[in-house]
Chain A
Amino acid sequence: MRRLLLFVSTTSYRTDAFLAAASELGEPVSLVVASDRRNALEHLTGGSTFAVDFEDADRTLAAVARNADRFGAIGAVVSADDESNLVAARTAEALGLPFHSVPSVEAAGDKLVARRALRDAGIPGPKFAALSVGDGVERAVEQAARLPWPRVLKPTGLSMSRGVLRVDDEAAFREGFARIGRLLARTGGDQVLAETYLHGDEVAVEGLMDHGELLVLAVFDKPEPLVGPTFEETLYITPSRHPESLQAAVLDVVRQGCAALGLRHGPVHAEVRLTQEGPVLLEVAARSIGGQCSRVFTWALGQSLEGLIYRQALGLPLTVPAQLRAAGVLMLPVPRAGELVRVDTAAAESVPGVRAVSITHPPGAAVPLPDGDRYLGFVFADAGTPSEVESILRMAWGRIVVDMQ
């Protein structure tokens, strides 16, 4: 039986989907799960579930080797999240299994390193400056002085738009820099990237790099304007309604970006701004789409994204339809920080075309967005056209009642 080693954060939204996908492959696959915290039943799993330190690849490799005596040789490595990417890359390298290379995962996981690599490869991007919270705001103002307004401030090591702020003048810059400093005091890290803000629509590209070739799974439009001051993701709709020539140009910059970072084998998720000068790669991550958004592929592709990721890792044939069914997801934004009393989704669930509503915060939970690391929930829909999907999701959104105090 093939053995697949899945690295997944204990708190990942993706765990359920990755576990379910293992039993839907149509091939006998034994799943070995490595997480960053110990499972209560670890001792009953026969070594197929164990805790590792995502920050310590050497200890992780030792734990994999130790447990391999019990579960046998690993045939494929998959990582579910940013947090586990690097240890997964190190493990795959040590086991001689295909995966993104270690340097490419390191580069993609750091916005500053990635920005420099893209610039050095001649790929168009925003002007930028590297800042340090530890150096203080006066030094940051000085270092970013040559960048025109508006600007965007980003913690270099966080993903999912966490801490990303648009600042339109020096007062906002100072305030934003302090806010990111407070965020990094909680999450760790010191570096901040200041970039020129790029006007234009945004799209996301989901794909699998297969031995250096990009297999495009979906191009998502983001019809809700992402103009700041924060950049919470909301609507993702596929297939894209942008002209095919523009989509082709988008895919070109994604391919160039993957090549520049060295991403060659495994899932990729890219964000691209459609500026007047053409598509600009904001970033490309060495992972698949986050949150519960991957569920949209069940309707768009008729199969799970996690299943495709497994199939690729195991070297099984991949069959992806040329034409996607129109589908989309709404990442439900939090109206304000506070304590969640309840979310009433009944009216939203009754909107024709809504396939699922998933609320991820229990009543009573403190909701600290937009700097937090959780969505309020997800709404999924499919329909005959992307425009219909957007209408359905907007209608559902309007019918969701969020009660907070």
Chain B
Amino acid sequence: MRRKIMKLLQTEINPYVSSHGGSIDIEDFVDGNVYIRMSGGCQGCGAASVTLKQGVEKTLREHFGDKIKEVIDLTDHGAGSDPYYAPSK
């Protein structure tokens, strides 16, 4: 399953987030929970949670249905030095 998710991220997700200088990788898959890490322009990006919830999670559910419980972001967004959209007030 982890390999399938990795492949989906590489073929369906990362080609698009790379246009914002970002990348999303799977760290683990345990009991239906997908642990991911964002880097580059995604790390610290103000839109990262929208990308994750509305884009990545939705796409994973469409492909794998109930096998996906939750997508959990392990990224240290505070350390993102080059976010595509820097959060502000």
Chain B residues numbered 41-58 whose CB sits less than 8 Å from any CB in chain A = 44, 46-47, 49-51, 53-56, 58
Chain A residues numbered 355-388 whose CB sits less than 8 Å from any CB in chain B = 358-360, 362-365, 373-375
B15 nearest in chain A by CB position: A40
Chain A residues numbered 164-178 whose CB sits less than 8 Å from any CB in chain B = none
Inter-chain contact A375/B55, CB cutoff 8 Å: no
| Chain B hits for A402, CB < 8 A | none
Inter-chain contact A45/B89, CB cutoff 8 Å: no
Alpha-carbon gap, A44 to B55, bound state (A):
6
Q: Does B64 contact A (CB under 8 A)?
A: no
Inter-chain contact A375/B89, CB cutoff 8 Å: yes
Alpha-carbon gap, A291 to B89, bound state (A):
5
Chain A residues numbered 337-363 whose CB sits less than 8 Å from any CB in chain B = 358-360, 362-363
Interface window among A7-15, A241-249, A274-282, A296-304: A7-15
**Count, chain A residues at interface, CB 8 A:** 38
Alpha-carbon gap, A49 to B87, bound state (A):
18
Inter-chain contact B89/A43, CB cutoff 8 Å: no
Inter-chain contact B88/A11, CB cutoff 8 Å: yes
| Chain A hits for B19, CB < 8 A | 40
Q: Does B20 contact A (CB under 8 A)?
A: yes
Interface of B is mostly: helix
Interface of A is mostly: loop
Interface window among A31-39, A96-104, A216-224: A31-39
Inter-chain contact B58/A290, CB cutoff 8 Å: no
Contact of A45 among B44, B58, B81, B83 (CB under 8 A): B58
Chain B's nearest CB lies how many Å from the CB of A146? 33
Inter-chain contact A44/B58, CB cutoff 8 Å: yes
Alpha-carbon gap, A358 to B88, bound state (A):
14
Alpha-carbon gap, A374 to B59, bound state (A):
33
Chain A's nearest CB lies how many Å from the CB of B12? 7
Chain B residues numbered 1-16 whose CB sits less than 8 Å from any CB in chain A = 12-13, 16
* Known A11-B87, A359-B78, A362-B78; contact A35-B59, beta-carbon cutoff 8 A: no
**Count, chain B residues at interface, CB 8 A:** 30
B17 nearest in chain A by CB position: A40
Q: Which of A15, A35, A46 has the most CB of B within 10 A?
A: A15
* Known A19-B53, A37-B47; contact A48-B88, beta-carbon cutoff 8 A: no
Inter-chain contact B50/A363, CB cutoff 8 Å: no
Contact of A364 among B20, B54, B78, B81 (CB under 8 A): B81
A359 nearest in chain B by CB position: B78
Q: Does A160 contact B (CB under 8 A)?
A: yes
Inter-chain contact B50/A35, CB cutoff 8 Å: yes
Inter-chain contact B51/A39, CB cutoff 8 Å: yes
28 pairs across A/B with beta carbons < 8 Å?
A11-B46, A12-B87, A13-B89, A15-B46, A15-B47, A15-B49, A15-B87, A16-B49, A31-B53, A33-B50, A39-B47, A39-B50, A40-B19, A40-B51, A41-B51, A43-B16, A44-B58, A45-B55, A159-B89, A291-B89, A358-B78, A362-B83, A363-B81, A365-B86, A373-B88, A374-B87, A374-B88, A374-B89
Interface of A toward B, CB cutoff 8 Å: 9-13, 15-16, 19-20, 31, 33, 35, 37, 39-46, 48-49, 159-160, 162, 290-291, 358-360, 362-365, 373-375
Known: A15-B87, A41-B55, A44-B16. 17 other contacts (CB 8 A): A11-B46, A11-B86, A11-B88, A13-B89, A15-B46, A16-B49, A31-B54, A33-B54, A39-B47, A39-B51, A40-B55, A41-B54, A49-B54, A359-B78, A362-B81, A365-B81, A373-B88
